[in-house]
A = this chain, B = another copy of it.
Amino acid sequence: MKVSNSLRELIAARRTGFNLDAPFYTADEVYDLDMEAIFGRHWIYVGVEPDIAEPGDYFTVKLGRASIVVLRDDDMAIRAFHNVCRHRGAQLCNELSGSVGNLVCPYHHWTYDLTGQLIHNQHMGENFECGKHGLKTVHVGNLAGLIFICLADEPPTDFEQMRETMEPYIGPHRIADCKVVAQDDYVEAGNWKLTLENNRECYHCVGNHPELTQSLYEFGFGYQPSSSNAEAVQEFRDLIEREHARWEAAGLKSAEIERLDSCVTGFRTLRLPLDRDGESQTMDAKVACQKLLGDLTDRRLGGLSFWIQPNSWHHFMSDHIVTFSVQPIDAGHTLVRTKWLVHKDAMEGRDYDLKRLTEVWLATNRQDGALVEMSQRGVASPAFEPGPYSPYTEALVEKFTNWYVERLRAAIA
C-alpha cells in the first residue's frame, strides 16, 4: 500500500479528543486507503439471512470499486464471490438481488455453479482448465443471521469472539425466522466517517430527530452531569437496573459490552429501556407489528442495540429489527442501506402497517443525511480545524475515530 508522506504525517499527527483533519473526509487518497485498509481488511456487515432464504437467492454489494455477490448455495451454505467473470472480466450479476440456478455471465455465457466452480463454457480449446477459472471467493461470517464479508486473505480472527459474545443477545430475536419487508437505500452527500460519527452520538438527537426521540430516553446516550439533572439521571439508572434484571431473568442478555476501540473487530451492545409505552422505536413507542419475533411474548423489551466498527448498527425490539449498513461510494458520498425485518409469518395489513413500521427511521435517516451533508461542506472549508468532542456525549464518536486511526496505523506500519 503506497501512502504519501503528507498522509502519513496526518495519520501520525491525529490529536485525540478532536475530530479528524479535513483530508480524512475529503481527500481521494484517504478514500482509497479507507477502501483498502478498512473496508478491504475488516468484517463488513452486508445483509441478513432472510435476504437469501432459498438456494440460488443472491444479493450484490458494492464496496468501492469491488462488487461482491453473496448467495445461498444448494446446500444452504452462504457464500460470497467477487462479481467478476474470469474470462474477460464482465460483471456477472447486474441486479441488486435475484435468484438463479447457476451464475451465468451475460457476455459469453461462462457458467459457474453456486460454489463458484466454472462448470461450462465454449470455444476455449482442449487445453483449457475449468478448475483454474473458478470465481474468486470472499470470506463470509454469519452472526445469528447477520451476514458479514471480509475481502482480506486472512480475516480478523476476533470475529469468532464477537459472535460468541453476541449470539446470546441476538439469538432470541431469531433473524432467520424474519423477512425483510422494507429497504431504504439512501445516499448521503458526505464521507462515510461523518456518517459513522453521526451515528455514534445522540447529542444531536434532541435538536434534530423529533420522531426518534419519541421513544428514546434523554439520558440513554450521555449527558453532562449537573445538580439539575441528578435526580432524573438516577431515576433512569434505576429503571435500567430494574429492566435489565427483568430481561435477564427472562433469558434476554441486556448488559452493556463495549469493545469499540479495544478489538480489531470493535463493537458495543446494550439493551436500553424505551420511553412511553416502552415497546418499540415507533412514534408512540408501541409495537409496529402485532406478531412478535421468535418465541418472544413480552412486548416491553426496549431496544437492543449493536454497533460494529466500521460500518453498521442494528436495533432489535420485541416486534421488529432495523439494521443499517454503510457503503462508501467516494470521498464525499456514502450509501446508507436500512432494512426493516418482522416475523416471517406476520401479514401486512393485519399484523403490521409499513408506514408505521418505517416512518421513524425513514425520517431520521433523512435528517441525519442533511447533517452529514452540512458537515461535509463545513470540513471542506480551508478554515475548518478539528473541534473538541464532548467528554460526555461524544465518547463513542471518539472511540470510533480512535479505532479508525489505529487501524490505519496498523495497515501502513
Q: Is A204 an interface residue (CB 8 A)?
A: yes
Whether B387 and A88, one on each chain, are in contact in the complex, defined by CB atoms closer than 8 angstroms, is yes
Whether B224 and A88, one on each chain, are in contact in the complex, defined by CB atoms closer than 8 angstroms, is no
By beta carbon, the residue of chain B nearest A129 is B388
Report chain B residues within 8 Å CB of A383: 66, 82, 84, 136
Whether A128 and B374, one on each chain, are in contact in the complex, defined by CB atoms closer than 8 angstroms, is no
Whether A65 and B390, one on each chain, are in contact in the complex, defined by CB atoms closer than 8 angstroms, is no
Report chain B residues within 8 Å CB of A186: none
Q: Is A366 an interface residue (CB 8 A)?
A: no
CA distance A380 to B64 in the complex (A): 10
CA distance A197 to B375 in the complex (A): 36
Q: Is A217 an interface residue (CB 8 A)?
A: no
Whether B125 and A380, one on each chain, are in contact in the complex, defined by CB atoms closer than 8 angstroms, is no
Whether B207 and A377, one on each chain, are in contact in the complex, defined by CB atoms closer than 8 angstroms, is no
Minimum Cβ distance to chain B for residue A306 (Å): 25
**Contact string against B for A residues 387-404, beta-carbon threshold 8 Å, 1 for contact and 0 otherwise:** 111111110000000000
Q: Is A91 an interface residue (CB 8 A)?
A: yes
By beta carbon, the residue of chain B nearest A67 is B381
For chain A residues 16-51, which have a beta carbon within 8 Å of chain B?
A: 19, 40
Q: Is A87 an interface residue (CB 8 A)?
A: yes
Minimum Cβ distance to chain B for residue A375 (Å): 5
For chain A residues 224-247, which have a beta carbon within 8 Å of chain B?
A: 224
Q: Is A312 an interface residue (CB 8 A)?
A: no
Whether B91 and A392, one on each chain, are in contact in the complex, defined by CB atoms closer than 8 angstroms, is no
Whether A106 and B66, one on each chain, are in contact in the complex, defined by CB atoms closer than 8 angstroms, is no
Q: Is A133 an interface residue (CB 8 A)?
A: yes
Most chain B beta-carbon neighbours within 10 Å: one of A88, A375, A382: A88
**Contact string against B for A residues 368-390, beta-carbon threshold 8 Å, 1 for contact and 0 otherwise:** 00110011011111111111111
Which of B94, B124, B384 contacts A388, CB < 8 Å?
A: B124
Q: Is A411 an interface residue (CB 8 A)?
A: no
Whether B371 and A107, one on each chain, are in contact in the complex, defined by CB atoms closer than 8 angstroms, is yes
**Contact string against B for A residues 72-98, beta-carbon threshold 8 Å, 1 for contact and 0 otherwise:** 000000000011111111111010000
CA distance A208 to B377 in the complex (A): 38
Please list 21 pairs of residues, one from A and one from B, whose beta carbons are closer than 8 Å in the complex, sorted by A's number.
A65-B381, A67-B377, A82-B381, A84-B379, A84-B384, A85-B378, A86-B387, A88-B197, A88-B387, A89-B386, A89-B387, A90-B377, A90-B378, A92-B378, A94-B374, A94-B377, A107-B207, A108-B204, A122-B224, A122-B390, A123-B223
